[in-house]
Chain A
């Protein structure tokens, strides 16, 4: 199962480190990552593979949610299918 993780918010040091740290601990593989500043908003988009994940999707969401609160950013984890269904026929 693949998912898209997006991080939106004020840029600061350690955002990628915090997020990728959690992913590494939970055995989530990062397939693609891009980061940019769009209209002064830090925007990171990651495609990840959840197939060998140690926890379940709800637990991963919870951990990312806690990190988001600490970093003052929004983190979303969404299964890839929502993007596929909307943007690919």
Chain B
């Protein structure tokens, strides 16, 4: 039997501190769905997703009920569609997006990831068609998420692709301008994209993955914030130790849910993603943890150090708690999805430059950041290039999910609703990088020795 305190601790984590499983994501390979005929390929895609994920939502709900732990999202990640669609005789890939959207609706998941291309070294014909179709695909579908990997530590940085993505992001915003440019919230530009990430919008089922797999993303910034608050002014060793212990407990629940879901669905268990994923709900904020550590506001000097401690301790605790760890695994710092981050921006404490610095020590990158609608495409490309360079040089995943909110200027608010929250429009550096980003070609892979 457990002690009363243990039981109450668990219940309070769920009841008061927003402990939840953020997502159970089923990865499904679509490699066997390719066909010269678009109709046949999209038919196979639809059928396969519906067949494999038929019981995903119900299984998630059953586990939620039996264990009394909220499971917020059930989602699907598929093989990057550029790889699947490439064999088809068409120049229009939007039917693939529609097939994914219909399949997601049919099985009842709110997002499906994998309208993706991996172009870190260059484009194939299919990659090119897919990337060009992203703005249309995200505008005409509701549930489809897209990602493009433009760089890796081994291959370097594809600056041609980054130049394109600046323009694609602008087009995405324009095509969804009546929703504040929401299309951009479903599009992630990656460096070193993980193949087993369960989190949207960047999830896809990588080419090294099995036929079908279950990956789970945990959450729980509120739990960590409470534990840090209870410490008062304890020293850094105690602080790190407390975060580790808390992360261990959170991740053990993720491991339990992942194994249970995998067993019930008769699908291999892939990984647990050790992420602190905030939501706009009060008390579910990563920024608040940093503030509990003693920063007046997230974004103050010291924020990068605080985040480095947090991120490292979360990983150390989490790794011990799970048999397989993967995905993004780190604290997320999306602006619009974190009440503390939004407040910090509004208070003038947090700027794009500080966010960029923070991404050096945590996952995942510049996430859910609204910028003025008239930001030039070349400036967006340059923002992506900066962020991607951090990932490539530091051998980590970085990403950019940025929204040039149509018609909005610095200080305005864009509201997306639900888990996407609302984003204050942040200032970008007004000086041009156009000549730089238009040079063309690739930035070579960085030296991995002589480190300093």
Contact status A6-B253, CB under 8 Å: no
- Stretch of B6-14, B47-55, B208-216, B332-340 with 4 or more beta carbons under 8 angstroms from chain A: B6-14
Contact status A6-B1, CB under 8 Å: no
Give residues 232-266 of B contacting A (CB, 8 Å). Answer: 249, 252-253, 255-256
A43 and B4 alpha carbons, distance in the complex (Å): 9
Does chain A have a CB within 8 A of B302?
no
Give residues 9-32 of A contacting B (CB, 8 Å). Answer: 31-32
B69 contact from A6, A61, A82, Cβ within 8 A: A82
A45 and B66 alpha carbons, distance in the complex (Å): 17
Give residues 1-50 of B contacting A (CB, 8 Å). Answer: 1-2, 4, 6-11, 15
Q: Closest A-chain residue to B320, C-beta based? A: A89
B441: chain A residues at CB < 8 Å are none
- Dominant SS among interface residues on chain B: helix
Q: Closest B-chain residue to A61, C-beta based? A: B65
Give residues 40-89 of A contacting B (CB, 8 Å). Answer: 43, 45, 47, 57-58, 61, 74, 76-79, 81-83, 85-87
Contact status A82-B6, CB under 8 Å: no
Contact status A76-B65, CB under 8 Å: no
B67 contact from A47, A74, A78, Cβ within 8 A: A78
Q: Closest B-chain residue to A87, C-beta based? A: B6
A86 contact from B1, B4, B10, Cβ within 8 A: B10
CB distance from A81 to the nearest CB of B (A): 6
Contact status B253-A82, CB under 8 Å: yes
Does chain A have a CB within 8 A of B444?
no
Contact status A4-B2, CB under 8 Å: yes
Question: Could you say which of B2, B4, B252 has the most chain A C-beta atoms within 10 Å of its C-beta?
Answer: B2
What string of 1s and 0s marks CB contacts (under 8 Å) between B61-79 and chain A?
0100111110000000000
Q: Closest B-chain residue to A38, C-beta based? A: B8
CB distance from B451 to the nearest CB of A (A): 36
A32-B1, A86-B249, A86-B253 are known contacts. Are A81 and B67 too (CB-CB below 8 A)? yes
Q: Number of B interface residues at 8 Å Cβ cutoff, please give it.
A: 21
Question: Could you say which of B6, B7, B69 has the most chain A C-beta atoms within 10 Å of its C-beta?
Answer: B7
Q: Closest A-chain residue to B3, C-beta based? A: A87
Contact status A79-B66, CB under 8 Å: yes
Contact status A79-B1, CB under 8 Å: no
Contact status B252-A77, CB under 8 Å: no
CB distance from B393 to the nearest CB of A (A): 38
Q: Closest B-chain residue to A57, C-beta based? A: B66
A47: chain B residues at CB < 8 Å are 1
CB distance from A87 to the nearest CB of B (A): 5
A76 and B64 alpha carbons, distance in the complex (Å): 12
Contact sample, A vs B, 27 pairs, CB 8 Å cutoff:
A6-B7, A6-B11, A38-B8, A43-B8, A45-B7, A47-B1, A57-B65, A58-B62, A58-B65, A61-B65, A74-B15, A76-B68, A78-B66, A78-B68, A79-B67, A79-B68, A81-B67, A81-B256, A82-B68, A82-B69, A82-B253, A83-B2, A83-B7, A85-B253, A86-B252, A87-B2, A87-B249
A8-B11, A85-B256, A86-B6 known; 14 new pairs, CB 8 Å cut-off, are A38-B8, A43-B8, A45-B7, A47-B1, A74-B15, A76-B68, A78-B68, A81-B67, A81-B256, A82-B67, A85-B252, A85-B255, A86-B252, A87-B249
Interfacial residues, chain A to chain B (CB-CB below 8 A): 4, 6, 8, 31-32, 34, 36, 38, 43, 45, 47, 57-58, 61, 74, 76-79, 81-83, 85-87
